[in-house]
Amino acid sequence: MAVYDFNSEMSSIVLNRKDNVATLLRDVKAGENITYTFEGKLQTLVVKSDIRFGHKVALYPIPKGERILKYGESIGAATEFIDRGEHVHVQNIEGIRGRGDAHIQKEVKNS
Amino acid sequence: MTIIKGYKRPDGSVGIRNHVLLMPTVICSNQVVNRIGQQVSGTVAIPHQHGCSQVGKDKERTHQVLVGMGKNPNVGAVLIISLGCEVMNAEQIRDEIMETGKPVIWLDIQDEGGTIKTIQKGIEAAKELVKQVQDGQRVDIDLSELIVGVKCGGSDATSGLCSNPALGKASDLLVAENGTIVMGETTEIIGAEHILAEKAVSAEVHHKLYDCIRNFEMEIDRMGVDMRGGNPSPGNIEGGLSTIEEKSLGCISKAGSSSLKGVVEYAEPIKGKGFYFMDSPGNDIECVSGMAAAGVHLVCFTTGVGTPTGNPIIPVIKITGNERTAKRMEDNIDIDTSAVLQGKETLEQAGKRIFDEIVSVASGSLTKAEVLGHQEFSINRIGISL
């Protein structure tokens, strides 16, 4: 699955070429220029807010409802439009699986 | 071929520890067991909340865990303490453990005439058992005898980035030597089961894996709950993990690249070689206890935010990929793989370090959880209390 390409110079990592998020390898501040490698080439990205180590940042604009891809696989869907450089976390994405509550909400809506 | 130093048991099985196990058959026996344990060194105890008011599969599960803990080859002898009116059948538990040929003594609190008399007699019995197991000497054992559990807990983004894939490399080294790997946590393969199912050696194993997931998701639906907040836990979310799918995709890499040989029930003995999946909760203590009851010898446990988890009868090797956690919780962490994230070590090199630690711990060196006396134990429960 994921291609691991760790490098001491990188401030974030993209695990698969299909991914639309990168994972930060250090804390970053709003407005900071971060780097990652994509298909062997060094890329840069300006982050829009303070984001902590281990959290994700959007590599491209992601429309509401679109799948978030990490390791080349879906980790959930965007609950709102997410712009390039924005923090991608529980405030703007939600899981598709293990959602017994979604089932209940649907039943309430239909009744 | 790698050699470890272990204990040969009468039934031909091999242990890497030589514990005298103090086993309450019911919650009511916990205090007596704890007092005996305080008095007799060389013993380990498994106090628990079960054994009474249980029926059906739930009762069977508790029975299987208790018998499995007694049968685990890391245990040299067992002292069973029952109360007398519980649903657990202490005599049957004793008889099943005795099939292994190891010494087992059974005392009943109601028969003995209360707490003090049972403690007095239990201390004498435990002392005798400790003397008996002391005769056991470590001998050369082929590494292929070893069954290693792979588990993660307190995960953060580093778990999926380096500690789990590094453990996966160690798993591959172990399976290459004909050893056995057991991965649990049904809750934590949700969203990644298709990748795991592709590795199944047969259609039957493939379907069995999907059945585990389907049953669990039906339960989530029945409860009408969102897993988030429980799993990923608040600590997982703080560490950067947003959904169960994200966590699962990081989790599954710890089993490495082996084919999936079989899917077993919680606490069901592992009878083959290679990579097995155990249908179990992600809950750290319940999962590790289920592995111990299945005959697992030791667990490799990756953690992002840090956990002290141990087990009474099996060593738990703690591995992190988070440099801050490695420094902040140095007391608890055995291996730091964070150099991988800094580009200073490869996953293969980190995996080899984990493999070497497995060999060392299997031959007697103590994990930090063992040194600190972490002996958490908990039986997974699936039924109601009557």
Predicted pLDDT at A109:
59
Residues B83-134 have pLDDT tens digits of 999 999 999 999 999 999 999 999 999 999 999 999 999 999 999 999 999 9
Measure A54 CA to nearest chain B CA, in Å: 5
| Low-confidence residues in chain B, pLDDT < 70 | 228-229
Predicted pLDDT at B222:
87
Put the strands of the sheet holding A73-78 in their side by side order.
Answer: A67-70, A73-78, A93-94
A3 touches chain B (CB under 8 A): no
Closest chain B residue to the Cα of A68, Cα to Cα: B246
Check CB contact under 8 Å for B191 and A7.
no
Band (pLDDT 50/70/90 cuts) for residue A108 is low
Terminal-to-terminal C-alpha distance of chain B: 52
Q: In this model, does residue A98 exceed pLDDT 50?
A: yes
Check CB contact under 8 Å for A6 and B249.
no
Interface test with B, best of A3, A50, A55 (most B CBs within 10 A): A55
Beta bridge partners of B142: B3
Closest chain A residue to the Cα of B216, Cα to Cα: A98
Check CB contact under 8 Å for A94 and B243.
yes
Contacts of B326 in chain A (CB under 8 A): none
For residue B230, give every residue at least 6 positions away whose Cβ sits within 8 Å of its Cβ, in sequence order, or none.
none
Check CB contact under 8 Å for A75 and B191.
yes
CB pairs under 8 A between A and B: 122
Check CB contact under 8 Å for A55 and B304.
no
Check CB contact under 8 Å for B245 and A95.
yes
Band (pLDDT 50/70/90 cuts) for residue A38 is confident
B196 touches chain A (CB under 8 A): no
Predicted pLDDT at B56:
96
Contacts of B162 in chain A (CB under 8 A): 6
Measure A23 CA to nearest chain B CA, in Å: 8
* CB distance A84 to B230 below 8 Å: no
How many Cβ atoms are within 10 Å of B314's Cβ, its own excluded?
A: 31
Check CB contact under 8 Å for B226 and A25.
no
Check CB contact under 8 Å for A100 and B223.
yes
CA angle (B349, B360, B186) in 5-degree steps: 70
Nearest to B1 by CA among B258, B191, B173: B173
A104 touches chain B (CB under 8 A): yes
Predicted pLDDT at B324:
93
Contacts of A1 in chain B (CB under 8 A): 195, 249, 253
CA distance linking residue B376 with residue B369, whole number of Å:
10
Residue B253 has, within 13 A of its CA and on its CB side, a CA count of: 23
Predicted pLDDT at A110:
57
Picking from A54, A94, A101, the nearest residue to B158 by CB comes out as: A54
Predicted pLDDT at B221:
85
Check CB contact under 8 Å for A93 and B224.
no
Predicted pLDDT at A5:
60
Picking from A2, A6, A89, the nearest residue to B341 by CB comes out as: A6
Predicted pLDDT at A66:
97
Picking from B243, B253, B304, the nearest residue to A76 by CB comes out as: B243
What residues 79-98 of chain A have any CB closer than 8 A to a CB of chain B?
A: 88-90, 93-98
B249 touches chain A (CB under 8 A): yes
Residue B292 CA to its chain's centroid (Å) = 4
Check CB contact under 8 Å for A102 and B158.
no
* CB distance B241 to B255 below 8 Å: no
Predicted pLDDT at A1:
43
* CB distance A79 to A90 below 8 Å: no
A31 touches chain B (CB under 8 A): no
Residues B13-72 have pLDDT tens digits of 999 999 999 999 999 999 999 999 999 999 999 999 999 999 999 999 999 999 999 999
Beta bridge partners of B107: B81
Residue B119 CA to its chain's centroid (Å) = 28
Check CB contact under 8 Å for A55 and B157.
yes
User: Beta strands B75-82 and B104-108: pairing type?
Assistant: parallel
Predicted pLDDT at A100:
77
Check CB contact under 8 Å for A76 and B227.
no
Closest chain A residue to the Cα of B338, Cα to Cα: A25
Q: What is the ipTM of this complex?
A: 0.90
Question: What residue type is assigned to position B96 of the chain?
Answer: E
Nearest to B254 by CA among B359, B324, B158: B158
A52 touches chain B (CB under 8 A): yes
Beta bridge partners of B181: B148, B275
Interface test with A, best of B226, B253, B342 (most A CBs within 10 A): B226
* CB distance B242 to B149 below 8 Å: no
Nearest to A60 by CA among A77, A84, A43: A84
Peptide bond into B312 cis (omega under 30): no
